[in-house]
C-alpha cells in the first residue's frame, strides 16, 4: 500500500467516526423534537381548559360586581342619612360652642367684677350653700324612692 491508499484509509476511518458521532447527535435531537411534539400536541387541550376557566372567572367576577353594585345602591340612602345626621350634629356643636363662648365671656366678666370688689369669698360661700342644698334635695329624693322616711 502506498501513501495515497493509507491517506484514503485514514480519511475513511475519520469520516466513519464523524458519521457515527453525527448519527448519535441527530438521534438525540430526534428525541428532543419528539418531546416537543408531545408537548405541542397537548397544548390545544390545555388552552381550551384555560380558556374555559378564564370564562368562568370572568362570569363570576361580573356576578360579584353586579351584587356589589346592588348592595351599594341599597346603602346609598344610609350614607345620605349619616351625612344629614353629621351635618345636624355639626350645626348643634357649632351653636354649643357659641353658647359656651358666651358663658365663658360672662363668667370671666363676673370673675373680674368679683375680684375687683373683693366679693370672691361671698360668691364662694353662696356656691357652697347652693351645692349643699342641692345634695340635700337629692338625698331626700333617694330616701323617698327607697321608702325610707
Contact 127, 121 (CB under 8 A): no
**What is the maximum alpha-carbon separation in the chain?**
150
pLDDT at 117 (0 to 100) = 58
pLDDT at 10 (0 to 100) = 94
Contact 132, 123 (CB under 8 A): no
Burial class (CB in 10 A: 0-12, 13-18, 19+), 128: exposed
- HSE (side-chain half, CA atoms, 13 Å) at 40: 6
pLDDT at 25 (0 to 100) = 94
pLDDT at 56 (0 to 100) = 94
> Could you count the other beta carbons within 10 Å of the beta carbon of residue 47?
10
Report how far apart, in Å, the C-alpha atoms of 87 and of each of 51, 55, 72, 80, 92 are: 52, 46, 22, 10, 9
Q: Is the pTM of this model over 0.75?
A: no
pLDDT at 78 (0 to 100) = 83
pLDDT at 114 (0 to 100) = 57
Mean pLDDT of each 10-residue bin along the chain, 149 residues long: 88 95 95 93 90 94 94 85 85 82 71 59 73 87 76
Amino acid at each position: 500500500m502506498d501513501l495515497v491508499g493509507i491517506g484514503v484509509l485514514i480519511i475513511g476511518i475519520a469520516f466513519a467516526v464523524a458519521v457515527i458521532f453525527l448519527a448519535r447527535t441527530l438521534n438525540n435531537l430526534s428525541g428532543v423534537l419528539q418531546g416537543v411534539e408531545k408537548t405541542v400536541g397537548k397544548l390545544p387541550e390545555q388552552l381550551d381548559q384555560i380558556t374555559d376557566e378564564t370564562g368562568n372567572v370572568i362570569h363570576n367576577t361580573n356576578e360579584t360586581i353586579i351584587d356589589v353594585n346592588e348592595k351599594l345602591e341599597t346603602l346609598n340612602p344610609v350614607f345620605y342619612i349619616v351625612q344629614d345626621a353629621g351635618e345636624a350634629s355639626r350645626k348643634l356643636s357649632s351653636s354649643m360652642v357659641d353658647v359656651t363662648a358666651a358663658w365663658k365671656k360672662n363668667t370671666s366678666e363676673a370673675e373680674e367684677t368679683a375680684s375687683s370688689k373683693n366679693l370672691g369669698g361671698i360668691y364662694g360661700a353662696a356656691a357652697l350653700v347652693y351645692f349643699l342644698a342641692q345634695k340635700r334635695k337629692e338625698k331626700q329624693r333617694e330616701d323617698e324612692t327607697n321608702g325610707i322616711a
